[in-house]
Structure 1
Amino acid sequence: MRPTKLVSAAVVGVVLATTAACGSGSGADPSAPAGPDTVITWQTTGGEATENEKKAFQEPFTAKTGATFDNVTSLNYISQLHTMVEQGQTVWDVVHTGSYLAKQHCGTLFETVDLSRFPVDKVPEGTVTDCSVPATKYATDFAYDASVYTGDVPTSIKDFFDVARFPGKRVVYGGSPKGILEAALVADGVPPDQLYPLDVERALAKLGTIKSEIIFAPSFTALQQNLVNKQATMTLTLSGRLAIIRDSGADLTPVWDFTSWDYDAFVVPKGAPNAAAAKEAIAFALEPEQLRTFAELSGLTPVRDDIDLSTVEFTESGKLFNPFLEGDHGTVVLQDPDWWAKNQAAAAEKWTAWQVG
């Protein structure tokens, strides 16, 4: 739920004060190109993800242009950005965001860009907006504990719902239904190419058949712990997270029957103090060399189809759960960003109410 404007405004005030103290955006010319005097404020997810972005995107861009970066992290970044834009006090230059948010807020919270500078023809249809071109992609995979299920093992998304044949707790991230609703509908007989518009009620009804066997993890860290400690023996979760969980000690194996995927993007907020330089930085980040480096660091997969994925040095676990590499990975479909942009709030509300109901 979006925080109140009072809370958001207070947080923005802290951001403004911090940014001013660092000198970022002070007296900046939004139309100026990146140069040694430019400090680009980059909003990202924090932790290891930010370190990966520094190494893959920011440090090479600094070497090329002299521009430097001030990295900030906010869990409620859309709410804060709403307040910044409404007050005409935007202090961020680049925002790392999800597919449906890039679609949902293009032209209102995010600046339009000159798409001729970006690899529009190198990415899947439906993933481009007037404000963004996708950067990396990831999937929601079905995986099970191979130390628990031997001999007769899951081979279909339907097996996630077969607690008689495959007893044991299933764990999913409780914070979002993306990818989970799609899997439930396919398991209930909906053809993958006819998923959208999603029938949320039907998906929840299918999930309801095994609700007592589902653990709704409050975070991906908690989900990981459930699997490592064998409190759960199956999951539907992000492909990159599965690689981390396997490397943490859970004997997970993917089921390549039905998988859905999503992507992220870099956007420029409305009123960004260094808008031109930010667009330069994003265009640079979307070049093959930078995306390849980021993929090797993060385990995420470049969206560009002209990058030979066999040249990306993924980890062993990263390869195991990556449905975009060569091989038979069953049916892999895009989580429709247009549908999610229009319906995410309503779907999330129903998902949350169903969990506690």
Structure 2
Amino acid sequence: SIQAGYLDPFMEKTGIKVIRENPSGLGKLRAMVEAGNITAVLLELGSPELEQAKALDLVEPLDWDLIDPLPIFDEARDDYGFGYQYYSTIIAWRSDAKPLTGLADLWNVDEFPGKRALPDYPAFLLPLALVADGVAPDDLYPLDLDRAFAALERIKDDVAVWWQAGAQPPQLLQDNEVQYAIAWSGRVAGQEGISYTFQDGQLDMAFFAVPKGLDPELKKAAMGILHEMSIPENQAVAANVVSYTGNSPDLEALLPADRLQEYPTTSANKSVQFLSNAKWWFENADEVETRWQEFKLGL
């Protein structure tokens, strides 16, 4: 989606050749900067990774005047990161199971009997556990960890799989190994035999950042790529490849009408979700991980 939506149009406009490398991420960024050998102009980081990169002084501030973006959502604009893609953590179920209306239903094993698959990632589970327990999304942070883990204790006996790969929930649902799941939206959208809702979903962003010490001319080119990522027509091309969405409020009108329900940031879907708080997760990562490992010992 990145290639078709953003890099191809940029190369066509500028004649500058862009080569994609995998993997991206914090480990690669840190190795490059510490070695003083900057081999990439942009790196993709999750929102907590961006906070960590800022704290470790691994990223350059972006030149937003040079990016000169078309209108984008506020949370996509960071001094050091360009939020280019939204993805959601949502509830999904077998289409022949009793439909869920929100997270409280997922926790209600009496009225919604069946096995569950939940993520083995606290960042994609603890906030959802609190919403299921009745915490209003606006009141989530700082997270009440005691309450979140108490909510997990209540449901853990009905969890058949604590998944680690995004491909697992749709497969588990289709194989009838579980009837209900928390999953990443792009993994379940459009999958046969699977229903889902964005109600009570968690919205996250993936960012692009510039490595510290990048050559100024290359940084200028990187800002041009980021500008391409703000163009709704380009975002529509990317969204046609995978059901995640870019940062433009004008994108919805360009999405295929028969697939609108699949996308995280349509007005209908964005309005019933809450945003993850990357700063809190960065600042509390060690405590959460300790509590998470303690919880898993009791499974």
- Which of 232, 237, 240 lines up with 1:293 in the alignment? 237
Give 1:147 deviation, angstroms.
Answer: 0.7
1:183 aligns with 2:128: yes
1:129 & 1:326 partners in 2: Cα distance? 22
Give 1:224 deviation, angstroms.
Answer: 2.5
**Which residue in the other structure is 1:91 paired with?**
39
Give 1:229 deviation, angstroms.
Answer: 0.3
The 1:297–1:257 alpha-carbon spacing in structure 2 relative to 1, beyond 3 Å, is closer
2:26 & 2:200 partners in 1: Cα distance? 31
Give 1:254 deviation, angstroms.
Answer: 2.3
The letter for the 1-side match of 2:225 is A
**Which residue in the other structure is 1:31 paired with?**
none
**Which residue in the other structure is 1:23 paired with?**
none
1:69 & 1:314 partners in 2: Cα distance? 32
Give 1:197 deviation, angstroms.
Answer: 0.7
Give 1:209 deviation, angstroms.
Answer: 0.7
How many equivalent residue pairs? 294
CA contact (8 A) 2:131 2:137 kept: yes
Relative contact order (alpha carbons < 8 A, sep ≥ 6): 1 or 2 greater? 2
With normalisation by structure 1, the TM-score equals: 0.75
- Which of 91, 95, 100 lines up with 2:48 in the alignment? 100
**Which residue in the other structure is 1:38 paired with?**
none
RMSD (Å) for aligned C-alpha atoms: 2.4
Give 1:256 deviation, angstroms.
Answer: 5.1
Unaligned runs of 5+ residues in structure 1 are: 1-51
The aligned runs of 1:23-102 (5 Å cut-off) are 52-74=1-23, 77-102=25-50
The 1:206–1:321 alpha-carbon spacing in structure 2 relative to 1, beyond 3 Å, is farther
**Which residue in the other structure is 1:322 paired with?**
263
What's the secondary structure of 1:304's corresponding residue? coil
1:254 aligns with 2:196: yes
The 1:322–1:278 alpha-carbon spacing in structure 2 relative to 1, beyond 3 Å, is closer
CA contact (8 A) 1:170 1:232 kept: yes
1:281-321 per-position Cα deviation (integer Å, ceiling 9, x unaligned): 2222222222221122221112222x1403212763xx334
1:102 & 1:224 partners in 2: Cα distance? 29
Larger Rg: 1
The letter for the 2-side match of 1:294 is A
1:211 & 1:63 partners in 2: Cα distance? 52
- Which of 154, 161, 166 lines up with 1:220 in the alignment? 166
CA contact (8 A) 1:53 1:294 kept: yes
**Which residue in the other structure is 1:21 paired with?**
none
1:93-126 per-position Cα deviation (integer Å, ceiling 9, x unaligned): 1111212222332371111111223467834444
The aligned runs of 1:119-198 (5 Å cut-off) are 122-149=71-98, 153-174=99-120, 176-198=121-143
**Which residue in the other structure is 1:313 paired with?**
256
**Which residue in the other structure is 1:334 paired with?**
275
With normalisation by structure 2, the TM-score equals: 0.88
What's the secondary structure of 1:260's corresponding residue? strand
